[in-house]
Structure 1
Amino acid sequence: MSATCVLCHRFFVVANAIASAYLVLSLVLSIFHILKTGAKVTRAVLIILDMVISALLISGASAATAIVYLAHNGNPRVNWFAICQEYNAFCERVSGALVGSFLAILVLMLLISLSAVTLSKK
């Protein structure tokens, strides 16, 4: 379980890092779109890329959630014990990070929806 745990949490961190870097670049392009209102093609491309990034974030958070579930409950069929009894502070921090990540995903989905509605009205 430990190698899988490390890989899933690493994927979670890398997915969030990629999304953060993309969103910083997307912010620059969004400012460009505010200044130049006629750029509809790049707005559509940004919405598509936003959806790709949200899928990456969802997959990273879901993989980490599966491992955190195993850490909390274990799996007696394969002799994986619940490790949260021993490492309670670690489990609390990881669970908090997952809750924050899923809340951020919901906000990102709301922003994508608002962008798509705004683009369709123009």
Structure 2
Amino acid sequence: MKAGALELGHASKTTKSGVNRGMSILDLFIRIIAIIATLGSAIAMGTTNETLPFFTQFVRFKAKYSDLPTFTFFVVANAIVSAYLVLSLGLSIYHIMRSRAQATRIALIFFDAAMLGLLTGGASASAAIVYLAHKGNRKTNWFPICQQYDSFCHRTSGSLVGSFAGSVLIILLIFLSAIALSRQSLNH
């Protein structure tokens, strides 16, 4: 009898809730990885500084993330997204226990999309500055500084990679929530 129900397209409720529970566990796992990526990016950028001596010990050139407002925005955006992801872990755990919850999934889609915009905005703006640091712009006489500030450039580039990885993970979270919602609406 069960095989006949499956042939007609009707799966058992335990199979449906098992798949939804699996998706909720995957959601929790991706959120934890996204926390690591965004928090790591914020810490890497926030602790980036390099000092170069110039002629004497008393004259030095210093590069810090706080010298550029774009990098400050990047750190704040990644910190906000990290805090949001930590707070959203509670709802993710709730979805593991109650796989049929719809209102909280809709709220997560909305807030995940807002955090995606914030994170992508910060990472994109910082990527433009890092590109200028690496390549410069001859038309405006901005010379590349990464030959002198090698450590500074490597840390900022690495933090961008983590932030863009966090963006991709949040996109996956939005897709997972949307798929879970669509599966629930098809079943009712």
Alignment TM-score, normalising by the size of structure 2: 0.59
Larger radius of gyration: 2
Amino acid in the other structure paired with 2:169:
V
1:73 equivalent among 135, 151, 165: 135
In the alignment, which residue of structure 1 is the partner of 2:176?
Answer: 114
- The reply on whether 1:8 has 2:58 as its aligned counterpart is no
Q: Determine if contact 2:112/2:173 at 8 Å carries over to the other structure.
A: no
Greater per-residue helix proportion: 1
Matches within 5 A, 1:45-84: 45-84=107-146
In the alignment, which residue of structure 2 is the partner of 1:86?
Answer: 148
Q: CA RMSD in A?
A: 1.8
SS in 2 for 1:85: coil
Q: Determine if contact 1:5/1:67 at 8 Å carries over to the other structure.
A: no
Amino acid in the other structure paired with 2:72:
R
Alpha-carbon distance in 1 for matches of 2:112, 2:80: 12
Matches within 5 A, 1:87-106: 87-106=149-168
Deviation at 1:37, TM superposition (A): 4.0
SS in 2 for 1:92: helix
Give the count of matched residue pairs. 120
Alpha-carbon distance in 2 for matches of 1:5, 1:70: 15
Alpha-carbon distance in 2 for matches of 1:106, 1:38: 26
Alignment TM-score, normalising by the size of structure 1: 0.89
Q: Determine if contact 2:132/2:144 at 8 Å carries over to the other structure.
A: yes
In the alignment, which residue of structure 2 is the partner of 1:23?
Answer: 85
Question: 5+ unaligned residues in a row in structure 1: which ranges?
Answer: none
29-38 or 95-104: bigger deviation:
29-38
Displaced runs of 4 or more, over 6 A: none
SS in 2 for 1:105: helix
Instruction: Rate the CA distance shift 1:69–1:5 in 2: closer, same or farther, 3 A.
Output: farther
